[in-house]
Structure 1
Protein backbone atom coordinates (compact mmCIF):
# COMPACT_ATOMS: atom_id res chain seq x y z
CA UNK A 1 0.00 0.00 0.00
CA UNK A 2 1.02 3.58 -0.60
CA UNK A 3 1.40 5.58 2.61
CA UNK A 4 -0.17 9.04 2.34
CA UNK A 5 -0.37 11.94 4.78
CA UNK A 6 -3.18 14.48 4.76
CA UNK A 7 -3.05 17.42 7.14
CA UNK A 8 -4.29 20.97 7.58
CA UNK A 9 -1.72 23.75 8.07
CA UNK A 10 -1.75 27.45 8.85
CA UNK A 11 0.44 29.66 6.67
CA UNK A 12 3.16 29.46 9.32
CA UNK A 13 2.97 25.67 9.38
CA UNK A 14 0.85 25.01 12.49
CA UNK A 15 -1.20 21.80 12.31
CA UNK A 16 -2.54 21.76 15.87
CA UNK A 17 -6.25 21.88 16.68
CA UNK A 18 -7.80 22.90 13.36
CA UNK A 19 -11.32 21.65 14.02
CA UNK A 20 -12.52 22.76 17.47
CA UNK A 21 -11.34 25.00 20.32
CA UNK A 22 -10.83 22.00 22.60
CA UNK A 23 -9.59 19.19 20.36
CA UNK A 24 -5.90 19.76 21.13
CA UNK A 25 -4.83 22.23 23.79
CA UNK A 26 -1.43 20.64 24.43
CA UNK A 27 1.25 23.16 25.36
CA UNK A 28 -1.40 25.74 26.25
CA UNK A 29 -2.62 26.08 22.64
CA UNK A 30 -5.63 28.43 22.66
CA UNK A 31 -6.37 28.86 18.94
CA UNK A 32 -8.19 25.62 18.21
CA UNK A 33 -10.83 25.75 15.50
CA UNK A 34 -8.82 28.04 13.23
CA UNK A 35 -9.72 26.04 10.09
CA UNK A 36 -13.50 26.27 10.51
CA UNK A 37 -14.03 29.77 8.99
CA UNK A 38 -12.35 28.56 5.78
CA UNK A 39 -14.31 25.32 5.37
CA UNK A 40 -16.07 25.16 1.99
CA UNK A 41 -17.31 22.63 -0.53
CA UNK A 42 -13.74 21.75 -1.51
CA UNK A 43 -13.17 20.23 1.93
CA UNK A 44 -15.92 17.71 1.32
CA UNK A 45 -15.05 17.21 -2.35
CA UNK A 46 -11.33 16.52 -1.95
CA UNK A 47 -11.70 14.83 1.40
CA UNK A 48 -14.32 12.44 0.04
CA UNK A 49 -12.30 11.73 -3.09
CA UNK A 50 -9.19 10.82 -1.13
CA UNK A 51 -11.02 8.83 1.54
CA UNK A 52 -12.45 6.56 -1.15
CA UNK A 53 -8.88 5.52 -1.99
CA UNK A 54 -8.17 4.29 1.55
CA UNK A 55 -7.86 0.62 2.41
CA UNK A 56 -6.61 1.27 5.96
CA UNK A 57 -5.75 4.12 8.32
CA UNK A 58 -2.68 4.78 10.45
CA UNK A 59 -3.18 7.20 13.35
CA UNK A 60 -1.35 8.63 16.30
CA UNK A 61 -2.93 8.41 19.74
CA UNK A 62 -4.26 11.97 19.95
CA UNK A 63 -5.81 11.92 16.47
CA UNK A 64 -7.28 8.49 17.16
CA UNK A 65 -8.97 9.75 20.32
CA UNK A 66 -10.38 12.79 18.50
CA UNK A 67 -11.71 10.64 15.64
CA UNK A 68 -13.04 7.88 17.91
CA UNK A 69 -15.02 10.40 19.94
CA UNK A 70 -16.79 11.74 16.85
CA UNK A 71 -16.98 9.49 13.82
CA UNK A 72 -18.67 6.37 15.25
CA UNK A 73 -21.75 8.51 15.93
CA UNK A 74 -21.95 9.56 12.25
CA UNK A 75 -24.07 6.84 10.64
CA UNK A 76 -25.17 8.51 7.39
CA UNK A 77 -24.33 5.93 4.67
CA UNK A 78 -23.72 8.76 2.20
CA UNK A 79 -20.97 10.25 4.37
CA UNK A 80 -17.86 8.84 2.71
CA UNK A 81 -15.49 9.87 5.49
CA UNK A 82 -17.60 8.24 8.21
CA UNK A 83 -18.28 5.04 6.30
CA UNK A 84 -14.60 4.52 5.46
CA UNK A 85 -13.30 5.38 8.93
CA UNK A 86 -15.88 3.27 10.73
CA UNK A 87 -15.49 0.18 8.56
CA UNK A 88 -11.86 -0.05 7.48
CA UNK A 89 -8.88 -1.29 9.53
CA UNK A 90 -7.31 1.33 11.76
CA UNK A 91 -3.82 1.03 13.24
CA UNK A 92 -2.96 3.27 16.19
CA UNK A 93 0.64 3.90 17.24
CA UNK A 94 0.68 4.36 21.00
CA UNK A 95 2.57 3.17 24.06
CA UNK A 96 0.00 4.63 26.47
CA UNK A 97 -3.37 3.33 25.25
CA UNK A 98 -4.53 0.20 27.06
CA UNK A 99 -7.21 -0.64 24.51
CA UNK A 100 -8.84 0.67 21.35
CA UNK A 101 -12.59 0.06 21.26
CA UNK A 102 -13.42 1.63 17.91
CA UNK A 103 -14.45 -1.03 15.42
CA UNK A 104 -11.62 -2.75 13.54
CA UNK A 105 -8.81 -0.98 15.43
CA UNK A 106 -5.42 -2.50 16.31
CA UNK A 107 -2.69 -1.03 18.50
CA UNK A 108 0.96 -0.76 17.45
CA UNK A 109 2.94 -0.61 20.69
CA UNK A 110 6.52 -1.35 19.67
CA UNK A 111 8.81 -0.64 16.71
CA UNK A 112 6.33 1.42 14.65
CA UNK A 113 8.81 1.81 11.79
CA UNK A 114 9.04 -1.94 11.31
CA UNK A 115 5.27 -2.36 11.69
CA UNK A 116 4.54 0.40 9.17
CA UNK A 117 6.98 -1.13 6.69
CA UNK A 118 5.09 -4.40 7.06
CA UNK A 119 1.72 -2.70 6.56
CA UNK A 120 2.97 -0.94 3.44
CA UNK A 121 3.97 -4.32 2.03
CA UNK A 122 0.42 -5.61 2.19
CA UNK A 123 -1.81 -5.50 -0.91
CA UNK A 124 -4.09 -2.51 -1.23
CA UNK A 125 -4.29 1.06 -2.43
CA UNK A 126 -3.61 3.55 0.36
CA UNK A 127 -2.67 3.40 4.01
CA UNK A 128 -3.69 6.90 5.09
CA UNK A 129 -2.43 9.12 7.90
CA UNK A 130 -4.63 12.07 8.85
CA UNK A 131 -3.15 14.67 11.19
CA UNK A 132 -1.13 12.64 13.74
CA UNK A 133 1.77 15.08 13.87
CA UNK A 134 4.19 13.16 16.10
CA UNK A 135 3.74 9.99 14.06
CA UNK A 136 3.91 11.84 10.74
CA UNK A 137 7.16 13.58 11.64
CA UNK A 138 8.79 10.30 12.63
CA UNK A 139 7.72 8.50 9.47
CA UNK A 140 8.82 11.44 7.30
CA UNK A 141 12.26 11.27 8.89
CA UNK A 142 12.42 7.55 8.07
CA UNK A 143 11.39 8.13 4.45
CA UNK A 144 8.23 6.04 4.73
CA UNK A 145 5.60 8.54 3.54
CA UNK A 146 4.98 8.33 -0.19
CA UNK A 147 2.71 11.35 -0.66
CA UNK A 148 1.90 14.50 1.34
CA UNK A 149 -1.45 16.25 0.87
CA UNK A 150 -1.14 19.61 2.57
CA UNK A 151 -4.05 22.01 3.00
CA UNK A 152 -2.52 25.42 3.70
CA UNK A 153 -4.93 28.10 4.96
CA UNK A 154 -4.46 31.90 4.81
CA UNK A 155 -4.01 32.43 8.54
CA UNK A 156 -0.92 32.97 10.69
CA UNK A 157 -1.22 31.59 14.23
CA UNK A 158 2.19 32.43 15.67
CA UNK A 159 2.40 29.33 17.83
CA UNK A 160 1.42 25.70 18.08
CA UNK A 161 2.72 22.32 16.93
CA UNK A 162 4.09 22.33 13.39
CA UNK A 163 4.50 19.54 10.88
CA UNK A 164 7.98 20.69 9.86
CA UNK A 165 9.58 21.57 13.16
CA UNK A 166 13.33 22.22 13.56
CA UNK A 167 15.38 19.05 13.54
CA UNK A 168 13.62 17.30 10.68
CA UNK A 169 15.69 15.20 8.28
CA UNK A 170 16.45 17.34 5.19
CA UNK A 171 14.17 16.15 2.38
CA UNK A 172 13.41 17.43 -1.11
CA UNK A 173 9.80 17.30 -2.28
CA UNK A 174 8.30 17.30 -5.77
CA UNK A 175 5.02 19.15 -6.31
CA UNK A 176 2.65 16.94 -8.33
CA UNK A 177 -0.65 18.82 -7.95
CA UNK A 178 -1.95 22.12 -6.61
CA UNK A 179 -5.45 23.61 -6.30
CA UNK A 180 -6.91 26.73 -4.70
CA UNK A 181 -10.26 26.60 -2.95
CA UNK A 182 -12.82 29.37 -2.84
CA UNK A 183 -11.87 30.25 0.74
CA UNK A 184 -8.22 30.75 -0.18
CA UNK A 185 -6.84 27.41 0.96
CA UNK A 186 -4.08 26.00 -1.23
CA UNK A 187 -4.10 22.21 -1.55
CA UNK A 188 -0.63 20.99 -2.49
CA UNK A 189 0.30 17.39 -3.19
CA UNK A 190 3.98 16.50 -2.82
CA UNK A 191 6.06 13.36 -3.20
CA UNK A 192 9.48 12.88 -1.63
CA UNK A 193 12.39 13.42 -4.03
CA UNK A 194 15.40 12.30 -2.02
CA UNK A 195 17.81 14.61 -0.24
CA UNK A 196 17.98 18.31 -1.14
CA UNK A 197 20.49 19.46 -3.74
CA UNK A 198 22.64 22.51 -3.05
CA UNK A 199 24.38 25.15 -5.13
CA UNK A 200 26.26 28.42 -4.83
CA UNK A 201 25.13 31.60 -6.66
CA UNK A 202 28.48 33.27 -6.00
CA UNK A 203 30.20 30.91 -8.41
CA UNK A 204 28.53 32.71 -11.29
CA UNK A 205 29.52 36.16 -10.04
Structure 2
Protein backbone atom coordinates (compact mmCIF):
# COMPACT_ATOMS: atom_id res chain seq x y z
CA UNK A 1 0.00 0.00 0.00
CA UNK A 2 1.37 3.39 -0.96
CA UNK A 3 0.40 6.95 -0.04
CA UNK A 4 1.46 9.76 -2.39
CA UNK A 5 0.85 13.49 -2.73
CA UNK A 6 0.50 14.52 -6.37
CA UNK A 7 -0.43 17.58 -8.45
CA UNK A 8 -2.87 17.75 -11.36
CA UNK A 9 0.10 17.50 -13.73
CA UNK A 10 1.34 14.29 -12.06
CA UNK A 11 4.24 15.83 -10.09
CA UNK A 12 5.10 14.24 -6.75
CA UNK A 13 8.53 15.73 -6.08
CA UNK A 14 9.15 18.00 -3.07
CA UNK A 15 5.50 18.36 -2.01
CA UNK A 16 5.80 21.75 -0.31
CA UNK A 17 2.94 22.75 -2.62
CA UNK A 18 0.56 20.73 -0.38
CA UNK A 19 0.60 23.36 2.37
CA UNK A 20 -2.19 25.66 1.07
CA UNK A 21 -4.45 22.60 0.62
CA UNK A 22 -3.64 20.87 3.87
CA UNK A 23 -6.59 21.30 6.22
CA UNK A 24 -7.60 19.97 9.59
CA UNK A 25 -9.73 17.42 7.70
CA UNK A 26 -6.71 16.09 5.82
CA UNK A 27 -4.73 16.05 9.06
CA UNK A 28 -7.43 13.90 10.62
CA UNK A 29 -6.85 11.30 7.92
CA UNK A 30 -4.14 10.10 10.29
CA UNK A 31 -6.83 9.29 12.83
CA UNK A 32 -9.55 8.11 10.48
CA UNK A 33 -8.08 6.00 7.75
CA UNK A 34 -4.91 6.41 5.87
CA UNK A 35 -1.82 6.96 7.89
CA UNK A 36 -2.63 5.76 11.40
CA UNK A 37 -4.62 2.66 10.48
CA UNK A 38 -2.14 1.52 7.84
CA UNK A 39 0.89 2.37 9.93
CA UNK A 40 -0.46 0.34 12.85
CA UNK A 41 -1.11 -2.64 10.54
CA UNK A 42 2.24 -2.42 8.73
CA UNK A 43 5.03 -4.92 9.24
CA UNK A 44 7.54 -2.89 7.23
CA UNK A 45 7.97 0.68 6.00
CA UNK A 46 9.52 0.74 2.51
CA UNK A 47 11.04 4.07 1.47
CA UNK A 48 13.24 5.65 -1.16
CA UNK A 49 16.37 7.38 0.11
CA UNK A 50 15.13 10.96 -0.30
CA UNK A 51 11.91 10.26 1.59
CA UNK A 52 13.87 8.34 4.22
CA UNK A 53 16.30 11.23 4.71
CA UNK A 54 13.44 13.68 5.21
CA UNK A 55 11.48 11.47 7.57
CA UNK A 56 14.50 10.33 9.59
CA UNK A 57 15.38 13.97 10.21
CA UNK A 58 11.95 14.72 11.69
CA UNK A 59 10.28 11.70 13.27
CA UNK A 60 12.89 10.63 15.85
CA UNK A 61 12.46 14.08 17.46
CA UNK A 62 8.65 13.95 17.43
CA UNK A 63 6.65 13.78 20.63
CA UNK A 64 4.32 10.82 20.76
CA UNK A 65 0.65 11.56 20.39
CA UNK A 66 -2.42 9.93 21.86
CA UNK A 67 -2.58 7.30 19.11
CA UNK A 68 1.10 6.37 19.34
CA UNK A 69 1.88 7.40 15.73
CA UNK A 70 5.39 8.72 16.47
CA UNK A 71 6.30 5.70 18.59
CA UNK A 72 5.05 3.33 15.89
CA UNK A 73 6.78 5.04 12.96
CA UNK A 74 10.04 5.23 14.93
CA UNK A 75 10.05 1.55 15.93
CA UNK A 76 8.68 0.02 12.73
CA UNK A 77 11.33 -1.84 10.67
CA UNK A 78 12.30 0.04 7.52
CA UNK A 79 13.97 -0.90 4.27
CA UNK A 80 15.39 1.91 2.18
CA UNK A 81 15.90 1.62 -1.57
CA UNK A 82 19.23 3.33 -2.09
CA UNK A 83 22.43 3.12 -4.07
CA UNK A 84 24.13 5.68 -1.81
CA UNK A 85 26.41 4.66 0.98
CA UNK A 86 25.86 6.18 4.37
CA UNK A 87 24.25 5.63 7.69
CA UNK A 88 20.67 4.51 7.91
CA UNK A 89 20.38 5.07 11.62
CA UNK A 90 16.57 5.24 11.90
CA UNK A 91 15.86 1.53 12.36
CA UNK A 92 16.52 0.87 8.67
CA UNK A 93 18.20 -1.61 6.35
CA UNK A 94 19.51 -0.62 2.90
CA UNK A 95 18.03 -2.30 -0.16
CA UNK A 96 19.72 -1.97 -3.56
CA UNK A 97 17.38 -0.62 -6.27
CA UNK A 98 17.99 -3.76 -8.36
CA UNK A 99 16.71 -5.90 -5.47
CA UNK A 100 13.40 -4.04 -4.94
CA UNK A 101 11.09 -6.29 -6.99
CA UNK A 102 12.80 -9.47 -5.81
CA UNK A 103 12.51 -8.39 -2.16
CA UNK A 104 8.82 -7.46 -2.40
CA UNK A 105 8.04 -10.76 -4.12
CA UNK A 106 9.89 -12.61 -1.33
CA UNK A 107 7.93 -10.76 1.34
CA UNK A 108 4.63 -11.51 -0.37
CA UNK A 109 5.51 -15.21 -0.67
CA UNK A 110 6.43 -15.39 3.03
CA UNK A 111 2.84 -14.85 4.03
CA UNK A 112 2.43 -11.36 2.72
CA UNK A 113 4.13 -8.93 5.05
CA UNK A 114 2.06 -5.77 5.18
CA UNK A 115 4.30 -3.24 3.41
CA UNK A 116 3.61 0.49 3.66
CA UNK A 117 5.18 3.09 1.36
CA UNK A 118 5.10 6.85 1.98
CA UNK A 119 6.13 9.00 -0.96
CA UNK A 120 9.09 7.45 -2.73
CA UNK A 121 8.22 7.48 -6.42
CA UNK A 122 11.33 5.41 -7.15
CA UNK A 123 9.69 2.64 -5.13
CA UNK A 124 6.05 3.06 -6.21
CA UNK A 125 6.59 3.20 -9.98
CA UNK A 126 8.43 -0.13 -10.35
CA UNK A 127 5.97 -1.84 -8.00
CA UNK A 128 3.04 -0.52 -10.03
CA UNK A 129 4.64 -1.63 -13.29
CA UNK A 130 5.29 -5.11 -11.87
CA UNK A 131 1.77 -5.48 -10.45
CA UNK A 132 3.10 -5.65 -6.89
CA UNK A 133 1.17 -2.76 -5.37
CA UNK A 134 -2.21 -3.71 -3.88
CA UNK A 135 -3.51 -0.27 -3.02
CA UNK A 136 -2.58 3.30 -3.94
CA UNK A 137 -3.82 6.41 -2.12
CA UNK A 138 -3.28 9.67 -3.99
CA UNK A 139 -3.77 12.96 -2.20
CA UNK A 140 -4.40 15.17 -5.22
CA UNK A 141 -3.71 18.89 -4.88
CA UNK A 142 -5.65 21.14 -7.27
CA UNK A 143 -2.69 22.84 -8.91
CA UNK A 144 -0.16 22.35 -11.66
CA UNK A 145 3.48 23.05 -10.87
CA UNK A 146 4.85 22.64 -14.39
CA UNK A 147 7.98 20.68 -13.59
CA UNK A 148 9.33 18.03 -11.27
CA UNK A 149 9.46 14.28 -10.97
CA UNK A 150 6.29 12.63 -12.15
CA UNK A 151 4.64 9.78 -10.31
CA UNK A 152 3.45 8.00 -13.46
CA UNK A 153 5.59 7.29 -16.49
CA UNK A 154 3.75 5.77 -19.40
CA UNK A 155 0.59 3.72 -19.25
CA UNK A 156 -0.86 2.90 -15.82
CA UNK A 157 -4.21 1.19 -15.36
CA UNK A 158 -5.92 1.43 -11.96
CA UNK A 159 -9.40 0.78 -10.60
CA UNK A 160 -10.83 3.61 -8.45
CA UNK A 161 -12.33 2.38 -5.18
CA UNK A 162 -12.96 5.57 -3.18
CA UNK A 163 -12.94 9.34 -3.55
CA UNK A 164 -13.10 11.92 -0.78
CA UNK A 165 -12.85 15.71 -1.25
CA UNK A 166 -11.79 18.13 1.47
CA UNK A 167 -12.75 21.76 2.09
CA UNK A 168 -9.35 23.23 1.10
CA UNK A 169 -9.50 21.47 -2.28
CA UNK A 170 -7.37 18.36 -1.76
CA UNK A 171 -8.94 15.10 -2.94
CA UNK A 172 -8.13 11.62 -1.70
CA UNK A 173 -8.28 9.09 -4.54
CA UNK A 174 -7.96 5.42 -3.63
CA UNK A 175 -7.11 2.81 -6.26
CA UNK A 176 -6.37 -0.86 -6.59
CA UNK A 177 -4.84 -2.65 -9.58
CA UNK A 178 -7.21 -2.92 -12.53
CA UNK A 179 -7.93 -6.41 -13.72
CA UNK A 180 -7.68 -6.78 -17.46
For normalisation by structure 2, the TM-score amounts to 0.87
**Cα RMSD (Å):** 1.9
User: Offset of 1:125 from its aligned partner?
Assistant: 6.3
Structure 1: stretches of 5+ with no match in the other structure = 19-32, 196-205
User: Offset of 1:138 from its aligned partner?
Assistant: 1.4
1:7 is matched with 4
Secondary structure of 2:152 counterpart = coil
Q: Please say which structure displays the higher CA radius of gyration.
A: 1
Secondary structure of 1:69 counterpart = helix
From 25, 39, 50, give the equivalent of 1:62.
50
2:32 is matched with none
Aligned residues: 174
Structure 1 consecutive aligned stretches of length 4 or more whose deviation exceeds 4 Å = none
Measured at CA, do residues 113 and 157 of structure 1 come closer, stay the same or move farther in structure 2, by a change above 3 Å? Answer: same
Conserved in 1, the CA contact under 8 Å of 2:12 and 2:151?
yes
Secondary structure of 1:183 counterpart = coil
Match runs of 1:44-55 below 5 Å:
44-46=27-29, 47-55=35-43
Task: Find out whether 1:100 has 2:88 as its counterpart.
Answer: yes
Structure 2: stretches of 5+ with no match in the other structure = 30-34
1:41 is matched with 24
Between the two structures, name the one with larger relative contact order (CA 8 Å, sep ≥ 6).
2
User: Offset of 1:141 from its aligned partner?
Assistant: 1.2
Report the structure, 1 or 2, having the larger helix content.
2
Secondary structure of 1:102 counterpart = coil
- In structure 2, C-alpha distance between the alignment counterparts of 1:193 and 1:124, rounded to whole Å: 20
1:175 is matched with 160
Secondary structure of 1:86 counterpart = helix
